[in-house]
Amino acid sequence: MDATQRYCYGLNFKNVFLTEKGKAFESFFARVMTYGFTGDFQPVRPYGALGDLKCDGFRASDGTVFQCYAPDAMKLADLLKKIDEDFHGAVAHWGARMQRWEFVHNDVRGLPAEAVQKLQDLRTAYPGIRTSVFGEAEMRNVVMSLALHQLEDLFGAVPSQKTLERLGFAQLVPILKLISRREPPADPPTTAPSASKLENNALSRDVAGALCQGRLRERLVEDCLAQWPDPGLGEEVAEGFRNRYRGLKAIGYTPDEIFEDLQEFAGGMRGEPARQGAVLAVLSYFFERCDIFEDAKPDPTPSP
């Protein structure tokens, strides 16, 4: 797996982690763990009147019972009740088989203080059971340790460095035309982004890495626009991106959420890897050339 694929799969993981809720999140977790701990992790499904015995998955090697909680909205009272009921239910149903209990959740911000205190109280009350949390970082570690064919099964194929190298006008033109039709042209951008733009926008490592990989085909996008019969196409595309960015920023989207939306705006990271690579190349080019995200703040002038 090369750097382009790694960054793209990191973005795919983040998207699924944020969007899948309830049973869909449990299913995703079970697939990830089945690949990550083949022959060791066993998904558990509800069956009969007792359901799943307060267990969404069991890892035999260390006696870990996993319990998932991925609601549409995390409410403190429901969260604390869920932890309490599921832990004590697992103790009752699994007994000495359970040597470890992991609470799996989908809140990228982490758990609130009261939930952390609740888990610590359970550790104190049950010293023989190792109790921990399995969140975004823990699941990401498992996902990014998987083999390429396993990642392809989970998320589909993504662009590689070879995909970007082989891009031609044929892949770029549909993307550029799609964006140009979505928003009317307006004033051109002012200053070119500085080298510290990525850092200034607090973009995640995967987003920053994907943008850097997309820049490998900067010249191709530039040549395509230069040879296009309509000389205004580049500005039409730039203004389409700018308008979309301003709207998303105004309603409070985070930088990574804006990036994901702009990917969709440019056609989405779906279909053949070559098409996805074209979306990434175009997005990266206009990230550097126009008002998508904020330019870096200039260094203050030192006092004489």
DSSP state of 53: T
Burial class of residue 201, CB neighbours in 10 A (0-12, 13-18, 19+): buried
pLDDT for position 128:
95
Percent of the chain with pLDDT strictly greater than 90: 51
- How far CA 249 is from CA of 71, 76, 80, 253, in Å, comes to 26, 28, 33, 5
Is the pLDDT score of 140 beyond 90? yes
For residue range 157-181, list pLDDT tens digits in order.
999 999 999 999 888 888 888 887 7
Is the predicted pLDDT of residue 190 greater than 80, yes or no? no
Which domains are assigned to the chain?
Answer: 3-143 (3.40.91), 159-289 (no CATH)
Q: What is the pTM of this model?
A: 0.81
The pLDDT tens digits of the residues spanning 208-259 come to: 888 888 888 888 988 998 888 888 888 888 888 888 888 888 888 888 888 8
Work out the pLDDT band at 74, boundaries 50, 70, 90: confident
Burial class (CB in 10 A: 0-12, 13-18, 19+), 263: buried
Lowest mean pLDDT among 115-119, 199-203, 240-244: 199-203
Nearest to 44 by CA among 35, 71, 29, 16: 29
How much of the chain is in helix, strand and coil states, percent to nearest 5? 60, 10, 35
Cβ count near 162 (within 10 Å): 12
Mean pLDDT of 250-278: 87
